[in-house]
Chains A and B, each alone.
Chain A
Amino acid sequence: MDSMNQDGNDRDNKIYPPRRKADAKRAFPRRRQDALKWNGWGYKDSAFRINQNDCVEYTGDRYSISGYEFPGLRKWMVDRCGLSLDDKTFSQDVPKDDDLPRIILNHDFMDELRAACMIFSMDSQDRLFRAHGHTLAELYQLRHGQFKRIPDVVVWPENHNDVEKIVQLAAKYNVCIIPFGGGTTVSGAVLCPENENRMILSLDTSEMDRILWIDPENFLAHVECGIIGQDLERQLAEYGFCTGHEPDSMEFSSLGGWVATRSSGMKKNKYGNIEDMLVRVRMVTAKGTMEKSCQVPRMSTGPDIHHFILGSEGTLGVITEVTLKICPLPKCKKFGSVIFPKFEDGVEFLKEIAAKRMAPASIRLMDNDQFQFGRNLRPPKNSIFATLADKIKTLYVVNFKGFDPNSLCLVTIVFEASEEEVALQQKNIYSIASKYGGLNAGEESGQAGYMLTFSIAYLRDIGFDYSYIAESFETTLPWDKVLDACRNVKHVLHQKCKEYGVQSEPFATTRVTQVYDTGACVYFYFGFRSVGLEDPVKIYESIEHSARNEILACGGSLSHHHGVGKIRKHWLPQTVSTVGLQAVRAIKKELDPDNIFGCQNLFSKL
């Protein structure tokens, strides 16, 4: 806030920003396929590939690791993941217009839409881009298959009123609406149901990306739903604020999507999850706009309507505007890391940190495989001294401290607070760590750990190129079941791979990625070589199905933040009880009797 007062002159236009300037920097243009990959993750110019030196490199210049080679990575992928460089497979080319499903046209609707001067497109590439999210199955489909159903028209409303108008028209002419934000979903949520015979409208929110106002006095920002995570944080930072919401997808995912899926950010210990920072929300339903009359921290007014907007996954309406809690930018931001001899020690350590409520902004525990993965993702040191220091460190840890390099695990930490606060946190954390045999492993290892989580989706694409399929899935567990679930799920993954005749040892690794008082969020990465398998996606899905069953048996949740979408619908009745699900269906029936929001997430057609 200090920064605000210092900069008093600009105050007015900054607090009440005008319509987005024409030259304002955006994460990507309206024609997303110009900047983003049509069949993979992220920017076109950024990708892992194996160069002529037979070494993995990362192209482009957007990230700190861009332009570097990773000498150990190829060997690690071959040795540990069972990837083979002989298995090169190419993606098909961008499908031609004729190869895509025919448009189902609702003429009356289109006439009115045109009359209302909405921006829309029926271009095949625009439609294809909005036909999918980023699950393994969807990407495989893009690379090697064909979608049976894709949106028939893409519409870009520019504000809340536009959305109201579109929804009214759709209701009038019985058109199906699927809201589309960043398109980073990993639950199949934006897939068009194959049994949907009406015209499908993809409601792209990306033109609604303005911060409408900032209220430093109450720490609030009122933002349109289509804003992309990185744009939101960059623009807020200009005013000295942040939301602190950082899901791994934040470069590409949108605010509306976060709300609709009950998203969670890596720094939730300091800033909270999306439900903690959401103060007010406007959602356009087929029956009108649903919203609260005040923006207050808490209210006792019966069941909270926000709670069924959060996680509604596009089944009830379109989220258009969100009032978020904002925080002043932290003065000090530091990485840190601790190594532990064994995963169990790491879990005990996290448990104590959580119990003492001492968790810094982010604290994560990687198992040995993921630790090794992260190590191989570091660019080579350019100074001899740095390499030498590294070697000495390794020698010390392995030989003098008795750490087994094949069982040690890494805790990575992000500190965000004032200088003194960070110093205090560091002191506390490292002293508790030593109680469990942990050793401070430095800032750089911590940073590398976080680098892995954002680059993992890029890495998956290079896997695809070599017939290696991989995916991640997550859950929440009570503390006493964390180890059980990690162990048992890995067992199931290995066992199922054997059963399905997967040719080399699969890669299955886990991470405790969030801590709570009563439990933790656990993340699994799982991949295997798909050579020789008739239908690798089907096999993958069946294996993940078994793994999810095991997670549930261990007392885990169906999802911590990915959501249910279409791929986890199967378990929803047992998760929330049939009666619970009936109640949710009843809300749907009331708000959307004609199933205008017909994405069929959470449950199938009424």
Chain B
Amino acid sequence: METNTSDRQVIRLGTVPFNWLGTKSNLRYKYANAFSAQDIRNRLLSSSKILTAMEKTAQETGQPLSEIRTQVDSYISEIEHKQGGLSIPVMLMFVTKILSRIVEEISYNKSGISELKAAMKDSPVILAPVHRSYADFILVSYVMRACGIPIPAIVAGLDFLRMAGISMLLRRCGAFFMRRSFLKADQLYWTVFNEYLSIILCYGDLPIEIFLEGTRSRTEKALSPKIGLLKEVARSFFECKVPDVKICPISITYERVVEESLMIRELLGAAKPPESTSGLLKARTILTENFGNIHIHFGHLISIRDYCQQFDIDRSIHALRPRYFMSDTIAEKQCVKQLSYYLIDRQREKLLLTSPSLLSTIILQHKNGIQFDDAVMEMHWLRTEINKIKGDSALLAGGKDDSFNTKRALSLLHDVLQLTPDGLIVIKSHYNNCNERLENSGRPLLIYDTVFAAAADHITLARHRNKIIHLFALQGLLAIVLWSESKAGELSVNLDVALENFRWLRTLFNDEFVISGDNKHEEAFYSALRLLQESNATLNVSSSSIRITPEGHRLIEFLSEIVRPFIVGYWIFCQYALTNLDGHLEFSFKASCQGAQQLAIEYINGGLFNYFEVLSLSLYNNAVKALYDCGVIKKSLRNNKELISINKMKRRYLVSLFDKLAEYGNLKLHEKSKLSVRIYSKY
């Protein structure tokens, strides 16, 4: 086990390491030769890729070249980082002062840092942390500085630029900025941005930090990786501009994320508060909260050179064309895609368990409350199950004593959970709704308010559960297939039937659970089967059929229940699509998601199910994407607005999906599920 005590190094917050103001670290790539922002700018302005793109733009738009050059100049000013000066120490001091008030302990693994240090001279290094909070990049930078490693240049979204003052501070700390739009019209911009990235990678002296997921995950699940930046990084290797690139996956485990409440509001549909300075100041109330422990794990470095070996990549073809003539081969694209999933897996693998995530998983399966002592036993059972899958169930700020773990979880989840006098752990909103109505609201209580209040609590718990959902996703999908096809364990399931159903389910939920970058369904099926079998022989597998053993019921039910809310969510969206996006009907992406959410509220009020977490808009976002990927939903442009509707050619497939999801979501037998409800969206 790597996260043993000897490898774990606790950072003493509030103290200022003496090397903070020290000189620049000499740990840098040995072929670096562009050190200042000016060096980088000079290289950019003489890059053949940019010069060619400028000429192309001039030809297409008829603008004079000088104007385009000014444009490029302003792009560079918008992008570039200007790391240096006192900004970093000041920023870190300020941030750690705050952290020291709200966080109990921050730690990292020493072995990861030494591996990183050993590799930094030989090739450029990419840091790839999970993205769960704005604190991610601050924490990484903090640890790097404390260990005497240069602070990385960090890719940041352009929305930070709206924060007056902060953006300059971030630039000085090493942030460089990327736009989020991917319109064709911005080709010149993207050429400049990609070349900037490539130059600071190949010739710069700093490691580069990128977030594969593109944005903070609001759900605590991993997001499916965005491969744009990684592609540019890999391209530098494919074009032989660097001997290798080493990528360090970084897993940051929070017991609680600082932005938790904002994210839940966002998931429920309250618009994302724009990143403005004042918004940040308003967040001051968090200073009184306890956010528990944080652990930062620096994973084993992944060498792009080594990783590419398994693909049929011939780098020499790039030498047959001029440098500016960019093209990626199919093998290269495939390689980068799989690498991105591989990195996400490496990140997730080293996340530590937290007691809130274990307890949340349990509570979500006991929505009406569970006795404290039972919860302790469930905790123990769950840890044992995880141990079988992972072989390592290190618990952040916890240990073998599950009673202690449960108590810690309760205290960190005190906003959501409550221990009643008779020893029952309950979800606060349920409990309050049953006992006393919300009293101090000035207006008449709307049904939506109570639903949203419950949903907020459920989503909080779901977020915690989602931290470990990747451990169960694949088996969960298989479990739900087996459970339903066997009529709750009564019959045995034909192997081909199981495989076929697993196949479409996995395809549908690939992005939701970030399963993999390839289409090896059969392999995945058998590995899920193996995982299930290893967990206490819950299955009898013969050459043609699978039967759930009576001892296996508990685990299969548990796994099905983990996945079922997602099944229900997707079912709701199918329902919404069939009734609201069919015929001539079409709505915008956003309106559709909100419409589906409305539909979900109707169903909950009707008592069809009690998965309050299906109010989360992220489910519907993912559902639209998944349905779009399998061709069921098409996009069209009307008055410059993107609208979605059903692809009539695939309507029958959608209906079959709808039926199958209803079956797997235990909804089929309910009369209400057959009602066709039309939501007239107000948007």
Interface residues of A (CB under 8 A from B): 342, 344, 478, 480-481, 484-485, 487-488, 490-492, 494-495, 552-555
B504 within 8 Å of A (CB atoms): no
B243 close to A555 (CB less than 8 A) = no
A553 close to B315 (CB less than 8 A) = yes
A307 CB, nearest partner CB in chain B, Å: 23
A552 close to B243 (CB less than 8 A) = no
A-B CB contact pairs (8 Å), 16 listed: A342-B33, A480-B323, A484-B241, A487-B243, A488-B242, A490-B243, A491-B122, A491-B123, A491-B243, A494-B122, A552-B316, A554-B240, A554-B316, A555-B240, A555-B319, A555-B320
Interface residues of B (CB under 8 A from A): 31, 33, 122-123, 240-244, 314-316, 318-320, 323
Please report the C-alpha to C-alpha distance between residue A548 and residue B240 in the assembled complex, in whole angstroms.
14
Please report the C-alpha to C-alpha distance between residue A139 and residue B314 in the assembled complex, in whole angstroms.
34
Please report the C-alpha to C-alpha distance between residue A16 and residue B243 in the assembled complex, in whole angstroms.
57
What are the residues of chain B within 8 A of A490 when measuring CB–CB? 243
What are the residues of chain B within 8 A of A485 when measuring CB–CB? 240
* Candidate in A342, A485, A492, A554 with the most chain B CB atoms within 10 angstroms: A554
* Candidate in B31, B240, B242, B244 with the most chain A CB atoms within 10 angstroms: B240
B123 close to A484 (CB less than 8 A) = no
Residue of A nearest to B314 (CB): A553
A554 close to B122 (CB less than 8 A) = no
B240 close to A481 (CB less than 8 A) = yes
A553 close to B33 (CB less than 8 A) = no
B240 close to A553 (CB less than 8 A) = yes
Please report the C-alpha to C-alpha distance between residue A495 and residue B320 in the assembled complex, in whole angstroms.
27
Residue of A nearest to B306 (CB): A495
Given A478-B319, A484-B240, A488-B243, list of 19 further CB < 8 A pairs? A344-B33, A481-B240, A481-B319, A484-B241, A487-B31, A488-B242, A491-B123, A494-B122, A495-B122, A495-B244, A552-B316, A553-B314, A553-B315, A553-B316, A554-B240, A554-B315, A554-B319, A555-B240, A555-B319
What are the residues of chain A within 8 A of B31 when measuring CB–CB? 487
A381 CB, nearest partner CB in chain B, Å: 34
What are the residues of chain B within 8 A of A478 when measuring CB–CB? 319
Residue of A nearest to B33 (CB): A344
Residue of A nearest to B31 (CB): A487
What are the residues of chain A within 8 A of B320 when measuring CB–CB? 555
A555 close to B318 (CB less than 8 A) = yes
B34 CB, nearest partner CB in chain A, Å: 11
Please report the C-alpha to C-alpha distance between residue A351 and residue B33 in the assembled complex, in whole angstroms.
19
Residue of A nearest to B313 (CB): A553
What are the residues of chain B within 8 A of A491 when measuring CB–CB? 122-123, 243-244
B631 CB, nearest partner CB in chain A, Å: 38
Please report the C-alpha to C-alpha distance between residue A492 and residue B316 in the assembled complex, in whole angstroms.
16
B11 CB, nearest partner CB in chain A, Å: 32
B431 CB, nearest partner CB in chain A, Å: 61
B312 CB, nearest partner CB in chain A, Å: 13
Residue of B nearest to A342 (CB): B33
What are the residues of chain A within 8 A of B314 when measuring CB–CB? 553
What are the residues of chain B within 8 A of A494 when measuring CB–CB? 122
Residue of A nearest to B243 (CB): A491
A155 CB, nearest partner CB in chain B, Å: 43
What are the residues of chain B within 8 A of A552 when measuring CB–CB? 316
Please report the C-alpha to C-alpha distance between residue A342 and residue B203 in the assembled complex, in whole angstroms.
14
What are the residues of chain B within 8 A of A555 when measuring CB–CB? 240, 316, 318-320
Please give me the 8 A-B residue pairs with the lowest Cβ-Cβ distance, nearest first: A555-B319, A491-B243, A553-B315, A488-B243, A484-B240, A554-B240, A553-B316, A552-B316
What are the residues of chain A within 8 A of B315 when measuring CB–CB? 553-554
Please report the C-alpha to C-alpha distance between residue A313 and residue B31 in the assembled complex, in whole angstroms.
39
Please report the C-alpha to C-alpha distance between residue A328 and residue B640 in the assembled complex, in whole angstroms.
77
Please report the C-alpha to C-alpha distance between residue A481 and residue B243 in the assembled complex, in whole angstroms.
12
A478 CB, nearest partner CB in chain B, Å: 7
A222 CB, nearest partner CB in chain B, Å: 41
Residue of A nearest to B319 (CB): A555
What are the residues of chain B within 8 A of A342 when measuring CB–CB? 33
Residue of B nearest to A478 (CB): B319
What are the residues of chain B within 8 A of A492 when measuring CB–CB? 243
Please report the C-alpha to C-alpha distance between residue A490 and residue B122 in the assembled complex, in whole angstroms.
10
What are the residues of chain B within 8 A of A488 when measuring CB–CB? 240, 242-243
B567 CB, nearest partner CB in chain A, Å: 47
What are the residues of chain B within 8 A of A481 when measuring CB–CB? 240, 319
Residue of A nearest to B322 (CB): A480
Residue of B nearest to A489 (CB): B243
What are the residues of chain A within 8 A of B241 when measuring CB–CB? 484
Please report the C-alpha to C-alpha distance between residue A487 and residue B244 in the assembled complex, in whole angstroms.
10
What are the residues of chain A within 8 A of B319 when measuring CB–CB? 478, 481, 554-555
What are the residues of chain A within 8 A of B122 when measuring CB–CB? 491, 494-495
Please report the C-alpha to C-alpha distance between residue A552 and residue B244 in the assembled complex, in whole angstroms.
16
Please report the C-alpha to C-alpha distance between residue A490 and residue B316 in the assembled complex, in whole angstroms.
18
Residue of A nearest to B315 (CB): A553
Please report the C-alpha to C-alpha distance between residue A495 and residue B304 in the assembled complex, in whole angstroms.
14
Please report the C-alpha to C-alpha distance between residue A485 and residue B319 in the assembled complex, in whole angstroms.
11
Please report the C-alpha to C-alpha distance between residue A492 and residue B122 in the assembled complex, in whole angstroms.
10
Please report the C-alpha to C-alpha distance between residue A26 and residue B581 in the assembled complex, in whole angstroms.
95
B578 CB, nearest partner CB in chain A, Å: 53
A236 CB, nearest partner CB in chain B, Å: 40
What are the residues of chain A within 8 A of B316 when measuring CB–CB? 552-555
Please report the C-alpha to C-alpha distance between residue A344 and residue B33 in the assembled complex, in whole angstroms.
10
What are the residues of chain A within 8 A of B33 when measuring CB–CB? 342, 344
Please report the C-alpha to C-alpha distance between residue A604 and residue B315 in the assembled complex, in whole angstroms.
27
Residue of B nearest to A555 (CB): B319
What are the residues of chain A within 8 A of B243 when measuring CB–CB? 487-488, 490-492
What are the residues of chain A within 8 A of B242 when measuring CB–CB? 488
Please report the C-alpha to C-alpha distance between residue A344 and residue B243 in the assembled complex, in whole angstroms.
16
What are the residues of chain B within 8 A of A487 when measuring CB–CB? 31, 243
Please report the C-alpha to C-alpha distance between residue A591 and residue B198 in the assembled complex, in whole angstroms.
53
Residue of B nearest to A480 (CB): B323
B327 CB, nearest partner CB in chain A, Å: 15
A122 CB, nearest partner CB in chain B, Å: 47
What are the residues of chain A within 8 A of B244 when measuring CB–CB? 491, 495
Please report the C-alpha to C-alpha distance between residue A494 and residue B31 in the assembled complex, in whole angstroms.
15
Residue of A nearest to B318 (CB): A555
Please report the C-alpha to C-alpha distance between residue A555 and residue B319 in the assembled complex, in whole angstroms.
5
B586 CB, nearest partner CB in chain A, Å: 49
B30 CB, nearest partner CB in chain A, Å: 9
A351 CB, nearest partner CB in chain B, Å: 14
Please report the C-alpha to C-alpha distance between residue A478 and residue B323 in the assembled complex, in whole angstroms.
11
Please report the C-alpha to C-alpha distance between residue A558 and residue B96 in the assembled complex, in whole angstroms.
56
B246 CB, nearest partner CB in chain A, Å: 11
A105 CB, nearest partner CB in chain B, Å: 48
A74 CB, nearest partner CB in chain B, Å: 27
Please report the C-alpha to C-alpha distance between residue A494 and residue B244 in the assembled complex, in whole angstroms.
13
Please report the C-alpha to C-alpha distance between residue A495 and residue B118 in the assembled complex, in whole angstroms.
13
A310 CB, nearest partner CB in chain B, Å: 25
B218 CB, nearest partner CB in chain A, Å: 41
A437 CB, nearest partner CB in chain B, Å: 13
A518 CB, nearest partner CB in chain B, Å: 12
Residue of B nearest to A477 (CB): B319
Please report the C-alpha to C-alpha distance between residue A478 and residue B320 in the assembled complex, in whole angstroms.
10
B654 CB, nearest partner CB in chain A, Å: 47
Please report the C-alpha to C-alpha distance between residue A480 and residue B241 in the assembled complex, in whole angstroms.
10
What are the residues of chain A within 8 A of B323 when measuring CB–CB? 480
Residue of A nearest to B323 (CB): A480
Residue of B nearest to A490 (CB): B243
What are the residues of chain B within 8 A of A484 when measuring CB–CB? 240-241
Residue of A nearest to B321 (CB): A555
Please report the C-alpha to C-alpha distance between residue A553 and residue B237 in the assembled complex, in whole angstroms.
10
Please report the C-alpha to C-alpha distance between residue A340 and residue B316 in the assembled complex, in whole angstroms.
30
What are the residues of chain B within 8 A of A553 when measuring CB–CB? 240, 314-316
A349 CB, nearest partner CB in chain B, Å: 16
Please report the C-alpha to C-alpha distance between residue A554 and residue B31 in the assembled complex, in whole angstroms.
17
Please report the C-alpha to C-alpha distance between residue A487 and residue B33 in the assembled complex, in whole angstroms.
13
Please report the C-alpha to C-alpha distance between residue A256 and residue B364 in the assembled complex, in whole angstroms.
86
B311 CB, nearest partner CB in chain A, Å: 13
Please report the C-alpha to C-alpha distance between residue A538 and residue B238 in the assembled complex, in whole angstroms.
29
A347 CB, nearest partner CB in chain B, Å: 13
Please report the C-alpha to C-alpha distance between residue A481 and residue B241 in the assembled complex, in whole angstroms.
9
